[in-house]
Chain A
Amino acid sequence: MTTSPLPDSQHQIRTIHLTVNGKNFPLEVGMAPHQIQPCHTLLQTIRETLGFTGTKEGCDEGACGACTVIMDGEPILSCMMLTIECDGKSITTIEGLQNPETGHLDPLQQSFIDHGAFQCGFCTPGIIMASKALIAEKSDIETKDIQEALSGHYCRCITHYQVVDAVVDVTKKVMRVSDDK
């Protein structure tokens, strides 16, 4: 095993910064066990280094959507992104959806509960994050938009129908709230 540090002529340790769920994490880059290696995916860093295990590793090849997190507003596959490419980025994981002060669930999480929109629950965090990004991006959402946005998410128990209902329901409620204003 090689133990040479990253290319850094001054032998200074390079530090990158990730903001995860509103909290800043300075992370050293290097080959030591406590450091972010150049080969680490964002998924690995989120789960193993930072301990946000709500984000799941399904296929680790960008084909199942289980590892979806929101980065600067966009849903991304964290298994297809190297951590060292994410310096300065702001990331939201499933753990970041609850209101940190009140502990209240995000309306989307509540809607998934009310509709029973999960079975084994392994794909659920990824699906919720992708749905969250969709709702944030678009105001008038139709069923087919939800289906399209989630088409890269692998659910094998078949909870698709309840998931679509849950997302539709929350968009209606969100729209109602904004109409009232």
Chain B
Amino acid sequence: MTNNYRYIGKKIPRKDAKEIVTGKAAFFDDIKMPDMLIGKTLRSPYPHANIQSIDTRNAENLPGVKAVLTYKNIPPWTVGIPPHIPVLDRRLRYVGDAVALVAAETREIAEAAIELIEVEYEPLEAVYDLDEAIKPEAPQLYDFAPQNMVPDALPLGVEGFEDAPLHHIKIGNVEKGFQEADIICQGTCSYDGIPNPLPPEPPGIIVKWEGPEEAIVWSATQSPSWANILTSMFLNFTEIRSIATYCGGSYGSKNMLFNISLHAAALAKATNRPVKIYYTKAEHLNAFVLRPASRIHGKIGMKKDGTLTAIQGDWLMGYGANAPMGFMQLAVGCGEAQLALRCKNWDFKAKCVLTNRTPSGIVRGFGGQELKSSLMPILSIAMREADIDPLEFFKKNYVKDGDGYYWRDSKWHVCEGMDYRKAMEKGGEAFGWKEKWKGWLKPTTEKGTKKTGVGVSLHGNADVGEDRSEAYVRLMPSGEAVVQILVAEAGMGQRDSLCKMVAEVLQIPLEKVKMTPPDSLVNPVESGLVGSRGTYACGTAVIAAAQDARKQLLEKAAEKFNTAAENMDTADGMVFQKDKPEQAMPWFFITGPFQSFTGFGRFNTDFTKPNFMMIFTEVEVDVETGKIEILKVLAATDAGQIINPLALKGQIRGSLGSAGIDTAIMEESVIDPQNGHIMTSNMIDYKWRTFAELPEFDDVILESQFPTHQFKAIGLGEISTAPTPAAVLMAVSNAVGKQFFDYPLTPDKILRALGKIQGAESK
């Protein structure tokens, strides 16, 4: 493309780069409040138990302790859809569940007080497996969820969420579809290793009450508005002022500060002082948001040419001990299934399952990664029988311009103006797919004990245009522009990208664009950095606001120049007539010292423009040891228009992090089935990819100028992890010559499949 942009698409460092590399960027643990107390949590050693008795007197008597809370003396706040999560409960549902809370003058005193609380537990039978949990005889976690299934999706009853989230794809007639099929296959695939997105910075929050229903929260989050979603949706508080610090990684997880928010809010209320809770890494690994467990029992009908005729299945999504977001993630997953797989007949039902595991929740890929990872291997059986190249299968079956789908709101949407086939083809060429693909369950190369194989998968998401966004842009007498939008910095560089868009609209130097801090009192309403919506949704709002402000400025300037506004233009903080640019005057001459021009911009929900990313991967399997090495990854996508190439490069390489690609081979939270403890709750035992183990990583990013906003761009950071596990599983299956249906593919599973070791499964 030959757009003559000053900032868009240019390799210009992030505006906050200097702050980051000098250590001046203030992350959550770097801020302090006067008079602040530290909150700590006593956690359950049992996966399922009732508190029989609890004695907090010794803890209360410890000097420096300001409050001790148990289920007996907490505020009556309950959250979740439907509401089922109180601040504290007499019933404990996972190892690590909160038993009691302490607020004290120092961390050391709070920790000492926790040790002084005496508790007698009545242990109950626990359940961890999804299929076991939904049996009638399984131990029940809650009264509201018979057989441990959250009752069918409920509408939230608030603006933008008035429809019941999609939880059952019912289209056409699957019986008819199976009759039309040449190939019918069925199978079960589990993606239930419940890995941890594990941002480097643990979660934390500070809550300070200003009045009975008025609080301020400081947190490291990617979406400061969610503190208000929590309270206004579930509780009767009027307004929470939410301020985000720099966020040291989130990958979805730090949207969900629900429990920790309630705990800090309750302690702050009890003490009438600001209370900070900052998890230790052990708490982060044991008691904070994990990726949901997913299992699909599915049946596929397909014609020989790869046309899908029927998709039927039960999708079990395991959330562990509670499900604050209920069906929202399943709704998006159900939508994303249709984006990748055009089919006339569907009967696919999602079930939200509760078990005695650490709660799962929002993680990058939001339902889609879980769904894709468990559905693709079942589809692979049909593709293998039809002998279809998966790259051709995806190109044929993904949603194109004019195709429709039910999205998360249960409504039908039609795809507009997007075509990703070129990106997929170019990706395949760059990867050497045609040369490397030898057919299903066939290795690419064999040398001694080492076999290589290739795999490919596809993911797309229409949430890039989800929910509303509002922004102001103020043109100041100084020639600066101030952008007001409630956007935090959690690694995506979105604050910077939005500033670049505004600088481009106004044609002013980037350093003249300032953005207000992510504070909900200062900025208009905005839903948050989720679903890759920053580029399209937030982008549209700030561009519209900048255009509006620019229009006001030029109208006022036109009066001064005694001409029509359409004859006026502005650049570098000057206004001038288009045909006489040499007679320019600074904004100040138009505004005077006490006037600014404030533009407003809004984005309204648009589910018609999905993004897509295809991941190609090549792996090497040592059939003697079962060890898998990921040799190469290639991401192919179309960004419409690249805004910030440096940030985009990082986001795409993010495929390897945040419980992404390595959930296929090594990342999992291993639970001891005897006692429900996570055995991988430190950063040595929890496996992660190091600098010494980097595969070759390439990308193909096209810029096809999509019909989104002025800069024709679409976001895609969120989806870079989602296709990776299925692509790796396919590659390993091909290398080994056996179709796998279970993640992660640890060496024991490889060797068992090859008949080289006997004995029971490791889980």
Contact = CB atoms under 8 A, between A and B. Distances in A.
Nearest to A58: B200
B22 A105 contact: yes
Contact of B23 (A53, A63, A115): A53
Contacts of A160: 653, 656, 691, 694
A116 B14 contact: yes
Interface in B177-211: 197-202
A96 to B, nearest CB: 9
A123 to B, nearest CB: 5
Interface in B603-621: none
A171 B112 CA distance: 48
B407 interface: no
B688 interface: yes
A159 B657 CA distance: 10
Nearest to A156: B657
A64 interface: yes
**Residue from B22, B29, B64, B281 with most neighbouring chain A CB atoms (10 Å):** B22
Interface in A84-133: 93-95, 97-98, 105, 109, 112-116, 118-125, 128
B199 A120 contact: yes
Interface stretch (A6-14, A22-30, A145-153, A172-180): A145-153
Contacts of B646: 115-116, 162
B24 interface: yes
A56 B201 contact: yes
A168 interface: no
B281 A94 contact: no
Contact of A119 (B11, B651, B682): B651
Contacts of A95: 22-24
Interface in A23-56: 47, 52-56
Contacts of B30: 47, 53
Interface residues of A, number: 55
A125 B25 CA distance: 10
B573 to A, nearest CB: 25
Contact of A54 (B22, B112, B683, B688): B22
State the majority secondary structure of interface residues on B.
Answer: loop
B281 A56 contact: no
Contacts of B247: 120
B18 A151 contact: no
A124 B18 CA distance: 12
Nearest to B222: A120
A161 B27 contact: no
**Residue from B20, B647, B657 with most neighbouring chain A CB atoms (10 Å):** B20
**Residue from A98, A121, A155 with most neighbouring chain B CB atoms (10 Å):** A121
B530 to A, nearest CB: 16
B471 interface: no
A146 B491 CA distance: 23
B493 interface: yes
A18 interface: no
24 contacts: A1-B63, A1-B109, A47-B30, A53-B29, A54-B24, A59-B682, A61-B281, A64-B200, A94-B22, A120-B199, A120-B246, A121-B20, A122-B27, A122-B200, A122-B246, A147-B691, A147-B694, A151-B691, A154-B683, A156-B200, A156-B688, A158-B653, A160-B656, A164-B694
Given A116-B17, A158-B656, A159-B650, 17 more contacts: A1-B108, A47-B29, A52-B23, A60-B281, A63-B682, A116-B11, A120-B200, A120-B248, A121-B491, A123-B200, A150-B691, A156-B658, A158-B654, A158-B658, A160-B691, A161-B649, A162-B646
Sort A-B residue pairs by CB-CB distance and give the 5 closest, nearest first. Answer: A54-B23, A116-B646, A122-B248, A120-B491, A94-B23
